[in-house]
Chains A and B, each alone.
Chain A
């Protein structure tokens, strides 16, 4: 599973990354987490609000810092 966090390094983007790492760890998943900071790359996903969470190339959530539990539900 490839998880991408889209964001330009704002506080909320970092928070989402932290929460995602926690969720992956707690579920014991073998997933790679990537940060996408390049604006052009972010735009390609059609995202207009950051941070956004992309799981296996599918945009799951935009403009929101999900809590650890919410990410877990998405990953299951």
Chain B
């Protein structure tokens, strides 16, 4: 137990890094971490370093796992399931299939023209950006394991229910006709060697870090400002635990924004530190990561506006409901 705790503190929460950042702020810069300026610099240095270290290690490990689940294979696996089981497997595979928002259209077309039910495809599309193996460990690092698992379960539930709803609503007629008339050729699969997988994992680390570093810096920057410069009573006046509309506000603000989950975490961290409810913070994270205008606009080429609007509404409402549920039962997790 003691060893696990030590591992949790030093490896996951990186207490040593916090101490190091504190030494730097105090001895090199001559500021106190109790001060506003010193405190925000400490938050910034510690969070940026921590996220980048965790991100690199995690992406490497996760990409290795993901190399076993290319979309072509996921498509095949999903073809064997129907109904709610299909939605659940779709949501689960969404967490391990490597996915970049620029591929969401070819993936959607590929799944749909292969005859996968719309509901299962949407379960996959909802869970994919929302729940990601890396985000689980980052959540555990920043908050704790219980919250991390709760977030994952919540994300999966949202994906399963959202997909089931879209499936039941019989929306196939709102998919552009070319998607169905598209004859899909199966691309030959060649087995990857361990070497290939390691190379792929290494490449992914570079690609992802290159893609998200700016989001992280901005996210941590905003987090540092919230952490040390915005008075607690201002935040709690709008987003406080006792404000019933807090979840609604963050969801509606978060939906049009898009950032990577890694950039969003530090903002959520600072909000919770300032007394914002855990459900509110999680809703914010989900709203920012799950729905983004660019990917919606891209989806527009394959589906009609009606289906797009329903997808959008289902996910938004789901996020809001989950936020309220977490605020109500969040005390069990802290």
A49–B73 Cα distance when bound, in Å, is 12
Indicate if the CB atoms of A43 and B102 lie closer than 8 Å: no
Indicate if the CB atoms of A46 and B302 lie closer than 8 Å: no
Closest beta carbon of chain A to B106's beta carbon, Å: 5
**Which of A40, A45, A50, A62 contacts B102, CB < 8 Å?**
A50
Q: Does B184 count as interface, using CB distance less than 8 angstroms?
A: yes
CB 8 Å contact bits of B176-192 with A (1 = contact, 0 = none): 00110011111100000
A49–B179 Cα distance when bound, in Å, is 16
Indicate if the CB atoms of B187 and A43 lie closer than 8 Å: no
Most-contacted residue by chain B among A40, A47, A48, A59 (CB, 10 A): A48
Is the interface on chain A under 10, 10 to 19, 20 to 34, or 35 or more residues? Answer: 10 to 19
**Which of B70, B105, B178, B184 contacts A63, CB < 8 Å?**
B70
Indicate if the CB atoms of B185 and A43 lie closer than 8 Å: no
A39–B298 Cα distance when bound, in Å, is 10
A7–B186 Cα distance when bound, in Å, is 18
Q: Does A8 count as interface, using CB distance less than 8 angstroms?
A: yes
Indicate if the CB atoms of A40 and B178 lie closer than 8 Å: yes
A62 touching B302 in the complex, CB below 8 Å, given contacts A10-B102, A43-B182, A46-B110: no
Indicate if the CB atoms of A43 and B186 lie closer than 8 Å: no
**Which of A39, A44, A49 contacts B302, CB < 8 Å?**
A39
A46–B184 Cα distance when bound, in Å, is 5
Question: Given the complex, which residues of A lie within 8 Å of B302, measured CB to CB?
Answer: 39
Q: Does B107 count as interface, using CB distance less than 8 angstroms?
A: yes
Closest beta carbon of chain B to A8's beta carbon, Å: 7
**Which of A10, A42, A46, A50 contacts B187, CB < 8 Å?**
A46
A41–B107 Cα distance when bound, in Å, is 14
Question: Given the complex, which residues of B lie within 8 Å of A8, measured CB to CB?
Answer: 102, 105, 298
A48 touching B110 in the complex, CB below 8 Å, given contacts A43-B182, A59-B185: yes
Indicate if the CB atoms of B301 and A48 lie closer than 8 Å: no
Q: Does B113 count as interface, using CB distance less than 8 angstroms?
A: yes
Q: Does B103 count as interface, using CB distance less than 8 angstroms?
A: yes
Closest beta carbon of chain A to B228's beta carbon, Å: 35
Q: Which 10 A-B pairs have the closest CB atoms?
A: A46-B185, A48-B110, A43-B109, A48-B71, A10-B102, A46-B184, A48-B106, A43-B182, A48-B107, A39-B301
